[in-house]
Amino acid sequence: MDIKKIIENLIDTFLKAGELSLSLREKGLKKEIKSDNTPVSNGDLEVNKFITKKISEVTPDIPIISEETSDNKDNTQLKNFWLVDPIDGTYDYINNLEEFTINAGLIINNKPVAGLINAPSKKRMFYSYGEGNAFELSDGKTTKLNEKDTITRPVKFISYSNKIKPEIKKIYQDIGVVENVKMKSSLKFCVVAAGEYDGYVAEPRAYEWDIAAGHAILIHSGGTVTDFNGNEILYGKKDLKNPSLILKSKNIL
């Protein structure tokens, strides 16, 4: 399997999916509330169709698990599969905010081996296909993430809430975190991979499709992703739910 070729064949699709997401938003989105009480829009569904169609063409033998379809979610025997979140950060998407992303992570032997994340409102596209091969495409320029300069500054982490729980505060103290900034969606993985922030900590929450692409991009940039006990994160769990997470950039390892 030529993972580099697979990812490079999908970059243009993800850029076009970003354009599609923005054009649908400009026209006015149709919004619904799903059974789990989370929002979904016609934009989520259209982007899902667009990217999964191309992924199926590029890798016809690899199943896809997407947040927005029921396909393969009950198959606990999968080891090789795609995890797709067509719009991560739907709240931002439907409310004309900027931190939503379009995501696909390739899982081989239950581990993330490649990822694509487009943040269309930010005009930032991230992708990776192996150790040392994590990139950002912005303004027509491609930058290798692990070759970006290391920044010497106080340790700055991201959180998904401004209310920091005691167990997370303890981890912050152990690491030496002095500043915390709220950020939504998988964009947090990307800015940690780019060295703009140093990490992220979360108790068990969300699903595998929320983190798979970002996980690949971060570890391929030289960072790490573990649970609170330092264990590796694997994919294809029975309920597809995430364990606790600690992300660290290469700057603080």
Using one digit for the tens of pLDDT, what is the confidence trace for 134-146?
Answer: 999 999 999 999 7
Amino acid (1-letter code) at residue 83: L
Residue 149 predicted with pLDDT over 80: no
pLDDT at 38: 87
pLDDT tens readout for residues 173-198: 999 999 999 998 999 999 999 999 99
Handedness of CA 186, 4, 195, 248 (dihedral sign): positive
Of how many residues is the chain composed?
253
pLDDT at 148: 63
Residue 42 burial class via C-beta count within 10 angstroms: exposed 0-12, middle 13-18, buried 19 and up: middle
Six-digit token string for 181: 């900034």
Asked if residues 232 and 226 have their Cβ atoms less than 8 Å apart, the reply is yes
Mean pLDDT, rounded, for 23-37: 93
Mean pLDDT, rounded, for 41-53: 98
Closest to 151 in 3D by CA, of 201, 219, 197, 92:
197
Residue 190 burial class via C-beta count within 10 angstroms: exposed 0-12, middle 13-18, buried 19 and up: buried
pLDDT at 150: 62
Asked if residues 248 and 242 have their Cβ atoms less than 8 Å apart, the reply is no
All domains of the chain in start order, with CATH:
3-146 (3.30.540.10), 155-252 (3.40.190.80)
Tracing tokens 């729980």 back to the chain, one arrives at 165
- Which residues lie across from 114 on neighbouring strands? 106
Radius of gyration of the chain (CA): 17
Handedness of CA 201, 207, 211, 215 (dihedral sign): positive
Return phi, psi of residue 74, to 5°: -95, 0
Amino acid (1-letter code) at residue 164: I
